[in-house]
Structure 1
Amino acid sequence: MSVAQFSVEDASFRPKRARVGIRPALSFLDEDKAGTIQPHDDALVVTLRIDGYDVRRVMIDQVSCVEIMYPYLYKGLHLKLENLTAYDSPLVSFDGKVVIPRGQIRLSVQAGSQVVDVDFIVMDSYFPYTAIMARPWLHTLGAVSSTLHQKVKYLSGDQIKELVGDQSVAR
């Protein structure tokens, strides 16, 4: 039997198609800017549930490589020095000064229905926000953030969920 004798309708000739699950794409459109004051250069500041408490003034920073907790939140969560583990590496603050952290603590951070365990470095310095969520948290959550759109988007199952920033708090 030669190849010419097969037709496209012949089931043995049809290539098998792989089943491909379609996943929504995490992207930002102009419509995502609705409700924001434009133009702006505001930080992306959200509310997250940290260790069972709703925590306001959490800055999302794609540039930072560690999650930071400041004294206001540390005290508000009723954490004690004995709750901290040692963290010996000095960090450079936003103003360029070297800061020695008080220690490190692992806490759960909830965004919608997604919960991620986060290692926070506890700083004993002033910052206008209560915490900084950085690349490790974004990557673990599988999230994409946009300061322009004032949102964080992430997949939860087959749905795109979003955290909306609070520009009034950022200002």
Structure 2
Amino acid sequence: MGLKAINLTLTKDPLVAFSGAQMVSAGRITLLVRAGNQTAMTEFKIMDLPSPYNAIIGCTWLAAMKVIPSTYHQQLRFPTVEGIMEIRGDQVAARRCYMAALAGKAIAP
């Protein structure tokens, strides 16, 4: 993304990992997130550790965007001025990304 450490607000926010271990963030950054034609300023806590995830979007973003998530259907639905927008997940692509992250390799497009 071209961001540097100077773009971070340094904090020592404690977070609990999925494993239950407590970790401390390396900082936080607020970025404009766009989904379809909707945008929302979103705060991200930066963790200095390997992860198969680029970002974990939480309830604050979901509420700001008025999103209705469906994990079963792997999609997000939210209102826009043009009507209801839908963003669908791609399980095959997600699995490829996850496997590549575990292997420590870059993914070819």
TM-score by length of 2: 0.81
Aligned to 2:41: 117
Aligned to 2:59: 135
* Matched ranges for 1:48-63 at <5 A: none
Aligned to 1:93: 17
Shift of 1:97: 1.6
Aligned length in residues: 95
Q: d(CA) in 2 for partners of 1:89 and 1:151?
A: 30
Aligned to 1:80: 4
Shift of 1:86: 2.3
CA deviations on 1:4-49 (whole Å, 9 max, x unpaired) are xxxxxxxxxxxxxxxxxxxxxxxxxxxxxxxxxxxxxxxxxxxxxx
Aligned to 1:102: 26
Please state if 1:153 is matched with 2:65.
no
Percent identity at matched positions? 39
Q: Aligned-pair RMSD on alpha carbons?
A: 1.2
Query: In 2 relative to 1, CA 113–158 (structure 1 residues): closer, same or farther, beyond 3 Å?
Result: closer
Q: Which has the higher helix share?
A: 2
CA deviations on 1:117-159 (whole Å, 9 max, x unpaired) are 1011011112111111111100000001001011100000251
Q: Secondary structure at the match of 1:85?
A: coil
TM-score by length of 1: 0.53
Q: Which has the higher contact order (CA 8 A, sep 6+)?
A: 1
Shift of 1:96: 1.6
Please say which structure displays the higher CA radius of gyration: 1
- Which amino acid is the alignment partner of residue 99 of structure 1? M
- Which amino acid is the alignment partner of residue 78 of structure 2? Y
Q: Secondary structure at the match of 2:45?
A: strand
Aligned to 1:170: 94
Q: d(CA) in 1 for partners of 2:49 and 2:22?
A: 11
Which stretches of structure 1, 4 residues or longer, exceed 3 Å deviation after superposition?
A: none
Query: In 2 relative to 1, CA 141–105 (structure 1 residues): closer, same or farther, beyond 3 Å?
Result: same
Q: d(CA) in 1 for partners of 2:30 and 2:69?
A: 23
